[in-house]
Each structure stands twice: as C-alpha cells, then as structure tokens.
Structure 1
Amino acid sequence: MVRNLTPLIQLPPRAVWGIGGATRYATAADWVGAGPDAETDGERIVLRYLAAFGPASISDVQTWAGRTRLRPVLDTLRPRLAVFRDEHGVELFDLPEAPRPDADTYAPVRFLPEYDNLLASHADRTRVISEEARKRVMTSNGMRATLLVDGEVAGTWKLHPGRDSTVLEIDPFRPLTAVQRAEVEAEGGRLLEFAAPGATHHVRDRDTPASRLTG
C-alpha cells in the first residue's frame, strides 16, 4: 500500500552485479529534500523524458509516465521546446539543444538489459522493436535482455557464468552480415569484460559454434 500511495525512492545499491539483495526504500521527500510539487512536477517529468527519448509525441510521454492529461503541460512548455511533425502528421516535441542525428545515421550495436526503458517508453514502439520481435522478447514475467543492431532489436542475449569462463549466448532474430556479426562480437567482448573480468570469455550464437574472444 505504501509503495502505491507514497512517492518512494529505491535506494542504491539494491545489490551488486550478479548477487541479489533486499530492496530498501526512502521517501522521495527525504531523499531529494523536498516533496512533489503539483504545479511543476508534470513539467519536470516531461522535460526529463524528452531529454532521454525525444522527439516524442504526447502519447509517448504519457505511455512512459503512466499518466494521462499531460497535454496542458506540453502546451505550457511549447515555447521552450522544438516542435516537429512525423510522416503521419503527429506532433513531436524535443528539447531545443538535444542532438537529432540524421535518419540515415548508423547506430552502433548495443546490449540492453532486461526490461530496458528504451523498449517501454513509446506509444509506438515499432521505431525500435517490431511487433514480431516484441512477441519473442516479452515473457510472463517481463522482458528479455535484447540486442540492438542499427538501433533496432535484432535478437536476445544471456550470460552463462561458470567457475573459470563465461559465455555470452546470442539468439539473433534474423541473419547478421559479417560486418554486423563482427561488431556484435566486439561489443559482446566489452560486455563480458564488465560482467566477468578476468575470466575466459566466449560469444556464442545459438545456431553457430562458439567464437573465442580474448579476455
């Protein structure tokens, strides 16, 4: 009941990498030194969201925030925002100083954790994950860890730690080019260095033999 009715902060660290721990909370007022301000809270939410995920529509913001009736907030902020329209005529808002790469800009390979905000922060999620891929990623308990290739979900991944070695298993949803596969292995190597420093590392495609990466 308290978690649903009181603004709370989940205190860090909940746990360390690979080891679970009990969740501890503090009230938002104690953690940040002030309670929510009804007049400015909506503006802060919108600006924080746009800093991470703009350009975005009103529906996008409301989907992420789990709130409705944010249109008046965006109308108040409109003079401070950059405003665009997408190919369907939907208004998109962004921070004026935010980077907006050209649509043809190649996005590097990235490994996202389970239930990453990127995949749950838009009303139209097909910009980063197709409907077919979404069905393969979603589980009864949440969302699998995903692999991004050129900014779109192209598969899932999972770590298999052992006593002396750690395997990163990748399940691609589509064939990867030789260049893409090399980039996935390079980024996977960096993930393994973070997750299991000092161990022998392998990146393994579920459909191909393991390829050794030096650790």
Structure 2
Amino acid sequence: MTELSWAQVSARRLHRHRLGAPAADAAPDAARVADVVSAMCGAHAQIASAAELSVGLRVPGATRALVRRALWSDRTLVKTRGPRGTVHLLAAADLPMWIGALTALPDPSGERSAVLLTPRQTEQVLAAIADAVAEADLTTAELTEEIVARTGPWAGDLVMEAFQDTWPRWIAAMTAATRGGVVCFGPNRGRATTYTSPTRWLPDFAPMPGPAALAALVRSYLYAYGPATPAQFARWMGVPPAWATWLFGSLDLTEVTVEGTRAWVAADDTVFPDDGPSGLRLLPYFDAYAVGCHPRERLFPGAAAERALNGGQAGNYPVLLVDGVVAGVWHQRRSGRSIHVTVEPLRPLDAGQRRELDEEVERLGDILEGKPTLTIGTVSVGPHA
C-alpha cells in the first residue's frame, strides 16, 4: 500500500486547485475559466463576489468581468445548487454528471416536502416550473404566479415556514427541481434572484444515468480533494456516511495511507509530487479548497483552528494560505474603486512571504477591478453566516 506524507497530499491538492505557482500560458477565456471550475469540482457561490474572486485567482489574468461573461454570456458556467444543496458555480459541461449524481443521492428533504405536497402535486409543480422557465428568467414572485396559473391556488398557499416567514407551498419542490435539472439560477434582476432552465445553457441537456454519474462525481471529487475517506465525501456532499462507504466500495478505487491514516484515490490517479507545498494565497469566503479539504486539523493547524473556523465550520472567514495550510485571516472593504485589504497573519511573515502577499493583494485588485491597499493588522469583522 502506498504511504504518503501530508506534504505530498497538500502539494497535489494545491496543484489540482490551481493554487500553486501561476502558469504563464495562453490568455484567459471563458473556456479556461470553466476548465478551472471543473478541476475544483465546483466553486461555492453563496456570495457572488467571493465566487468571482475564488475562480479568478486560479486563472492568471482573469477578472470578475471574465467570470461573469463565462456565466451569463458564454454560458460555460452554470449557477445552481450542488454539494449539500448550497449554491455553486459548476462547469456547464459537467451538468449532466452533477444532475445525474444528485438525483441518485439519498434525498434528505423528502420527508419535509411530503408533508406539504403529495407525489402528484410535486409532479405538477415540477412540470409547471419546467414549462414556465423554458424561455424566461423569472423571479420567485413571477414563478409563483406562473405555477399557480398552471396548477391551482393550492400551490401558492403560504404554508412553508422559513426564516421567520412563510413561503408558497410549491417551494417545497424546489430541492427536487434543482436536483433534477428542472431549474437553475438566472442573472439577478436588481436585487431579485431569477430562475431559468438549464437547457438554455445546454440545449441538448440530459442527465447521466445515476450509477455512471455517481462514479464520475467521486472521481472528480478525488481528483480535487483526494486522498479522501468515505466520511469526508459524505460531509462534502451532505449524505449519510454509511451510504458513502457503500458507494466507495462499489467503485474502482485504490487505498493509500496518509501518515498512517487510510484514504482512497481513483485507481488510475495515484501519482503524487515529491516536493512539498509552497506559496502564499488569499482565499475568499467559502473557497472550495478551505471548505473541502480534510482533515481539518491538518489544514487549520494550532491557532488557525480557533481563529479561522466557526464552530468547526470552514469558509466563514477568508483565509491566508501559506505553504498549503491556513496561517491567518483577512478581510476586504470596498469603497468605489478603492479596496482596503486587512491581513492578520497568525505567525510572522518573512521578507519573501511579504513580497508574495503584496503581489497577491495586487492580483486581488486586478480580479475585482479596483485599486487595493494593504494593512497588516487585526481583522475585527466576525464570521459570515
């Protein structure tokens, strides 16, 4: 059995996430952006500006405008719900895999939706959603009107409790709609979210069969985050650990050990670097690397766990990454074109690391199309919800 060091694992993950030394290659374009998002196995997009930065910092020369173009104009990216039902940017070309896999997962929302909708009503709502968004981008209010018109007043009953409010009954079917590829996000209309059809991104869209899609998803996950365990995959996807163990056991995977701990990689993807991780990066809120890499105690060693995790949860703080591990937190505040960046290292930075930090802040300014300034000091902003 192959025995690996944490340094080898960390170096490989950095490389796979395009967080190693930047490559001087062809000019960035929408296809290159999509390739990077595919390699990451999706980019978190709960905060649009953080998603733009997360993707942009992995593509030399990219700006937030390029990420937006890839999403809304060239449509090489799609915004929808991915792992754990959270909002992600996914490569449009990967959407058949994602939808095929998501529909094959155990459904944690089934019992709740069944209380509000009968199976027949769910079918009616899904059909109504598909029909309504086939040619349009609709806000929640507009979509409610369209669904009620196609199904009946019952679909608009304000009976679904959420966030100290009540939502229309039909929203209980939204998880099934996004998992099934019936709907995805469209461009915001002012402050209002819109929904549309994935077929507007992929005209011939059809989900992959479940078993093939699950196999492809595990392979993509292990490419970005491996070696990993079934429990870690279960946490990443929000599925029962026992089910994840069964899934890993059904696939062609190779077992390795990372400093004595068992983990798995794809059977034909067992090459690891000899060099250790290096470099300094600023990762935004909910960056996929910080959220998806395990074990947490390796990625957030010592004081980093206390300072950069929120009740054990990663992503709520933007983090300073040094040589593959979290070594501080940071925050940015924008005023017009001015971007004020505060970085709080948890250990002293040497002269070379200070130069890298200056370069990274300049890169951040390029991506966000602003003029940055850097302050080394305490970050007083609390965790993002």
Residue in structure 1 matching 2:273, options 98, 101, 107? 101
- Matches of 2:208 and 2:237, distance apart in 1: 15
| Structural RMSD (CA) | 3.1
Who is 1:211 aligned against? none
Residue in structure 2 matching 1:120, options 243, 267, 291? 291
- Matches of 1:180 and 1:62, distance apart in 2: 36
State the secondary structure of the residue aligned to 1:204.
strand
Alpha-carbon shift at residue 158 of structure 1 (Å): 1.6
Who is 2:47 aligned against? none
- Matches of 1:164 and 1:129, distance apart in 2: 33
Who is 2:193 aligned against? 23
Who is 1:59 aligned against? 231
Query: Structure 2 vs 1, CA of residues 12 and 5 (structure 1 numbering), >3 Å: closer, same or farther?
Result: closer
List per-residue Cα deviations over 1:141-173 (Å, max 9, x = no partner).
960111101111111122222345322111112
- Matches of 2:195 and 2:304, distance apart in 1: 35
Alpha-carbon shift at residue 190 of structure 1 (Å): 1.0
Alpha-carbon shift at residue 52 of structure 1 (Å): 1.3
State the secondary structure of the residue aligned to 2:343.
strand
Q: Are 1:54 and 1:95, in contact at CA under 8 Å, matched by a contact in 2?
A: no
Who is 2:361 aligned against? 188
- Does residue 135 in structure 1 map to residue 306 in structure 2? yes
Query: Structure 2 vs 1, CA of residues 26 and 131 (structure 1 numbering), >3 Å: closer, same or farther?
Result: farther
Percent identity over paired residues: 26
Alpha-carbon shift at residue 53 of structure 1 (Å): 1.0
Residue in structure 1 matching 2:349, options 156, 170, 176? 176
Who is 1:41 aligned against? 213
Q: Which runs of 5+ in 1 are unaligned?
A: 208-215
Letter in 1 for 2:231: S
More helix by share: 2
**Structure 2 length normalisation: TM-score?**
0.45
Alpha-carbon shift at residue 27 of structure 1 (Å): 6.1
Q: Which runs of 5+ in 2 are unaligned?
A: 1-171, 379-385
State the secondary structure of the residue aligned to 1:194.
helix
- Matches of 1:182 and 1:119, distance apart in 2: 23
Higher Cα radius of gyration? 2
Structure of greater relative contact order (alpha carbons < 8 Å, 6+ residues apart) = 2
- Matches of 1:138 and 1:127, distance apart in 2: 13
Who is 1:206 aligned against? 377
State the secondary structure of the residue aligned to 2:210.
coil
Who is 1:3 aligned against? 174
- Matches of 1:158 and 1:99, distance apart in 2: 36
- Matches of 1:118 and 1:25, distance apart in 2: 28
- Matches of 1:96 and 1:125, distance apart in 2: 26
- Matches of 2:307 and 2:184, distance apart in 1: 30
Residue in structure 2 matching 1:156, options 329, 332, 349? 329
Residue in structure 2 matching 1:144, options 310, 317, 336? 317
- Which one is further off, 109-118 or 84-93? 84-93
**Structure 1 length normalisation: TM-score?**
0.75
Residue in structure 2 matching 1:71, options 233, 237, 245? 245
Q: Are 1:109 and 1:148, in contact at CA under 8 Å, matched by a contact in 2?
A: yes
